[in-house]
Every structure is written in C-alpha cells, then in structure tokens.
Amino acid sequence: MIPWHPGMLTPGQYGLAASAALAAGAVNALAGGGTLISFPTLIFLGVPAVSANVTNTVALCPGYFGGTMAQWDDLRTQIRRLWVVVPASIAGGIFGGFLLLHTGERLFRELVPWLILLASGLLAVLDPVRAGLERRMGKKYGASLEKLVALPVGLASIYGGYFGAGLSVVVLSVLGITLKDSLTRLNALKQAVAFSVNIAAAIYLLFSGQVFWSVALVMAVGALVGGTLGGKFAGRIKPSALRWTVVALGLVISAIYFSRG
C-alpha cells in the first residue's frame, strides 16, 4: 500500500479541506462541535486517521485563540483561577496527545465512529447542561469545590487532547459543579481551558511527524476566517439550531463508519 502524502490531493481537495476548516471555525465560534466537520473531511480525503486528528488539532488552533481573546473581559478578573485550571489543562492536553500517538492507526480508526458518536452526544446535552447550571446559579451558586477543580479539568483535558469534539460541554459541566460563579464567567473560563488544551496538544503533536503541514496551513487560514465570521454572526444565528445540525451530521457520519465495519 502506497503511504498517503499531501501531494495526492488536488487543488480542489485542498479547497475542500479549507472550506471544512472555515465551517469548523465558524461552528466553534457559534455553537461548538466544529471538529465533527473538519476531521471527517480529512478522513474522506484519505488522510490516515491518527494523522487526520493530529493535523486537525494543529489547524484549528487559531480559532480557539480568537474565541479566548473575545472573552478576555470576563477572564482577566479570574487570574487566580487561571493559574489553577491552565496548568491542569496543559498537562491533560499533552497526556491526551501522548495517548493518541500511542493508540496505533488501526485501533484509532476503529475508535473513530465511537468518538464521533460520543462527541455528538455531548453536543446534544449541552442545552440541558446549561439549563441545569443556570438553575444551580439561581440558588446562590450552591456549594463550591474550587480547591478540587484542577482534577476534573485535568481529566476532561485528557479527552480534549485525544480527540476534542464536545470538550466544551464536559469542561462547562465540571466548572459549574465545582465553582461558584455566573454562567457568563464560567463560559469564559471554559474557553480558556479549551484553548489551553488544544494549544498544549498541538505543540506536543508538532514533533510527532504526523502533521501534514500543507494541509494544516490551508486549514488554519480557513479556521481563522471562519472563527472571525462566526464571531460577527453570533447574534444573528441561533446556536441551538446550528448545534443540532452538527449533532445530526455527526450521527450520520458515525452511522456511515459503523456500516462500513
């Protein structure tokens, strides 16, 4: 079997990868779950599963940076918390990347439909999670377990470094359970965690030899443009409708993978 390399892609296929990244960047800015668009596209283009996940992680970094900066006003008053959750996020992201590189191509390909199904399920429960957290906030925030927050954030970050789609739901849940604060500020902290996980995993994976750079750079431009556009349209598009569209897409993709065996 001839090893896959970027030279096998046509200009049109590069355009498809860029378009998928653009859509993923916009979806991440609006509702989350962009990986469910960009990662399957790379698989469709013939990129090996592990390399597709690694390349996708590196390529989507610009979008996470933009999302974090957009919520800086709610983050700069949480510097003390950042000193706790960011190191845990970095450690978890690196360990998740380590697990990814040591999974093996065959096993990871077998896990792909399950990971996509899991990510779709996580996105599907985001609204109930937020509703539950809002009820908790309405009861004067309930009990705080702030001293323990690093542990669940670190565990969630391992999943984020390994695959990442749906990470925001997991992180928002653990922050809402362990911290006493408004949902707006927790959302900002969640964004910082997701950014830290993705950047840490991407930096670790840079040296893996699994990044297809020409593809990653094209996608990075698309993700940056998509994230910017998503931010501008954030008030005009209903996030829940977009999220359910992504969930449906994820379910279809996972069903296709399962049917192929």
pLDDT tens string 109-129: 888 889 888 888 877 877 777
pLDDT in tens, 176-223: 878 877 777 887 888 889 889 989 999 999 888 888 999 999 999 998
**What is the reported pLDDT for 2?**
45
**What is the reported pLDDT for 139?**
58
Mean pLDDT of 5-27: 86
**What is the reported pLDDT for 233?**
66
First to last CA, the chain: 20
Mean pLDDT of 56-81: 82
Q: What percent of the chain has pLDDT over 70?
A: 88
Chain Cα centroid distance, residue 259: 26
Which has more confidence, 116 or 232? 116
Which has more confidence, 93 or 261? 93
**What is the reported pLDDT for 1?**
40
Which has more confidence, 7 or 199? 199
pLDDT in tens, 119-172: 888 778 777 776 776 676 665 554 556 778 889 899 999 998 998 777 877 888
